[in-house]
């Protein structure tokens, strides 16, 4: 990361806000804004957070679910534990069956909310990055099919590419509502978008 990036980050209002309000990441505000708009997470929900490190989204989820809920954060990198006892961190690759089984063991099979701010390893070659992104998105959707409760909710980061429209068409068959949005805290120059699926329809898997 160059000096320009460091300077830009330190002057970013959401970076400063995260520091002052003791959030682990400026990304916390993305989920807070998405949740305020779409009412994704409710008290006592079970939430699975894929690509969770350093824990910014899990931190917001813990605030929303309260003491009666559960939050499971999964990432290749270590997630520093929270003081809340209802947080479970898994260090591993959520695209593997082994880690997916660990998630299911903790949540008892099903979750009310699945959130993912995960991003693939980007190489800077546009077409290749888009393919890696859609591969990761497809894994998230597959996991949603396996663990989301009926009427459950999904939030995931996506990068627009050739498969983007098809992915939205398929999701609209799985959820009662599908919304695409870019929260105010997402950097303007970033190509990321967020897809919100509300009201999962059980057994509506798409081949």
Q: Are 77 and 119 in contact (CB under 8 A)?
A: no
**Buried/exposed 20-50: b ≥16 CB within 10 Å, e otherwise:** eeebbbbbbbbbbbbbeebebbeeebbbbbb
Q: Which residue among the candidates 30, 64, 112, 157 is catalytic per the annotation?
A: 157
Q: Which two tokens stand for residue 186?
A: 């997402």
Ramachandran angles phi, psi of 195, nearest 5°: -105, 130
Q: Do strands 46-50 and 111-116 pair parallel, antiparallel, or not at all (unpaired)?
A: parallel
Give the span between the Cα atoms of 145 and 187, in whole angstroms. 30
- In the residue annotation, 157 being an active-site residue is answered as yes
- Catalytically annotated residues: 157
């Amino acid at each position: 990361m160059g000096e320009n990036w460091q300077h830009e980050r330190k002057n970013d209002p959401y970076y400063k806000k995260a520091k002052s309000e003791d959030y682990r990441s400026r990304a916390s505000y993305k989920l807070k804004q998405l949740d305020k708009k779409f009412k994704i997470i409710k008290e006592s929900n079970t939430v699975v957070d894929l690509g969770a490190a350093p824990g910014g989204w899990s931190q917001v989820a813990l605030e929303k679910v309260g003491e009666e809920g559960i939050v499971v954060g999964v990432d290749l990198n270590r997630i520093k534990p929270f003081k809340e006892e209802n947080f479970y961190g898994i260090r591993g690759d959520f695209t593997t069956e082994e880690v997916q089984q660990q998630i299911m063991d903790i949540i008892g099979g099903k979750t009310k909310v699945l959130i993912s701010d995960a991003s693939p390893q980007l190489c800077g070659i546009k077409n290749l990055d888009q393919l890696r992104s859609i591969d990761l998105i497809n894994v998230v959707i597959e996991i949603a099919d396996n663990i989301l409760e009926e009427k459950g909710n999904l939030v995931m980061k996506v990068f627009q590419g050739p498969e983007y429209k098809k992915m939205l068409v398929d999701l609209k068959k799985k959820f009662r509502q599908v919304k695409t949005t870019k929260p105010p805290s997402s950097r303007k120059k970033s190509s990321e978008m967020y897809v919100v699926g509300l009201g999962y329809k059980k057994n509506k898997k798409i081949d």
